[in-house]
Amino acid sequence: MSAFIYDAVRTPFGRYGKALAGVRPDDLGATVIKAVVERNPTLDPARIDDVIFGNANGAGEENRDVARMSTLLAGLPVTVPGVTVNRLCGSGVEAVIQGSRAIETGDADVILAGGTESMSRAPLVLLKPERAFPAGDQTLASTTIGWRLVNPRMPKEWTVALGEGAEILADQHQISREEQDAFALRSHQLATQAWDEGRYDAELVTVPGVELDRDENIRRDSSLESLARLKPAFRSPDKGSVTAGNASPLTDGASAVLLAGEDFDGEPLARVVSRGVSALEPQIFGVGPVEAANIALRRAGKTWEDVDLVELNEAFASQSLACLKLWPDLDPEKVNVDGGAIAIGHPLGASGGRIVGHLAHALRARGGGIGVAAICIGVGQGLAVVLEA
């Protein structure tokens, strides 16, 4: 039994604190679930065996199994279950992986996979005090992104900020500030062109009550000069190269992928061929996709020369460029041909559904081929999926 992608949708990704900041993550999830059902009239919602959604936070309004809550809010029958998975930035890819496996093993016939994240609405949390009635001040911790409430037994070198991890990779692989800014500019330019030419139209669903019909973070007027003026965000100006301009922005959004077997009533976009997962030192998480993709390609019986398109989630320009250096047989011009997360945004749990979904649409639009979707994950992991259309 093979697993196929029959449809993939996503909301526009909203800038932190802007257009989608007033929308709950479970409502974002409900938006894409409802859209998939409406776009596929032959799909009886009661046939959906499970809704598997990724979410990296889980500390706020999505805390009670956001997959199940989004399913109920979307109006699906109460008999449709939902499960939330968390592999941090890779949660949406993890959802697709688990869904495709369920179909391949015969445990399910139809799965909705994807993810939702509102980084704008991520709450501040307060630990319970060690004893009752504390007299001193208490400290809130932000759950928006990155390490928080760290176990003191964790080695310090593992728990550096994500941006510092990107700086470490820039040092290790001798990636200059100029190279990072050029990569970031390419992302904005390609994303702008893709939107202008309608290459995202097939997957876009708008959020009710919100006037946003394309990704809010893309900067049409970005330039090397404007990027060069930004100061390093994690190190001093004389030692740092990672800036807000060559890193993915905090964003809000949701994505959904319709997975089913070959007997589903519809024309598939692509087949899920293989999957890969890897792990390494947490501080160099950014190159996690390297071995994950290599594993997935080996399992598919393919090499990088067989690959037509790659969707590599751009957490940082330095980590993306480091991955490309470690894939010497991959033509960089095949990577993120419609822009990447530096321009589009990276709402953690939703990004995996975006890159897998867009890869399926892009392969189909180009008449078929082999594609790889790969993503780095905080705390040192990577995921990859190989598709064939």
- Enumerate the active-site residues: 89, 346, 376
Comparing CA positions, the residue from 337, 324, 343 lying closest to residue 371 is 337
- Assigned token pair, 311: 């969707």
* Exposure class string for 128-143: b at 16+ Cβ within 10 A, else e: eeeeeeeeeeeeeeeb
User: What type of residue is 298?
Assistant: R
CA distances (Å), 248 to each of 20, 83, 149, 284, 309, in order? 17, 27, 23, 17, 21
The residues with which 118 forms a beta bridge, in sequence order, are 252
Report the sign of the C-alpha dihedral through residues 296, 299, 303, 306, in that order: negative
Q: Are 284 and 316 in contact (CB under 8 A)?
A: no
Kindly report the number of other CB atoms within 10 A of residue 329's CB atom: 8
Which helix or strand (DSSP H or E) is residue 79 part of?
A: none
Which helix or strand (DSSP H or E) is residue 64 part of?
A: none
Distance CA 386, CA 368 (A): 13
The residues with which 7 forms a beta bridge, in sequence order, are 258
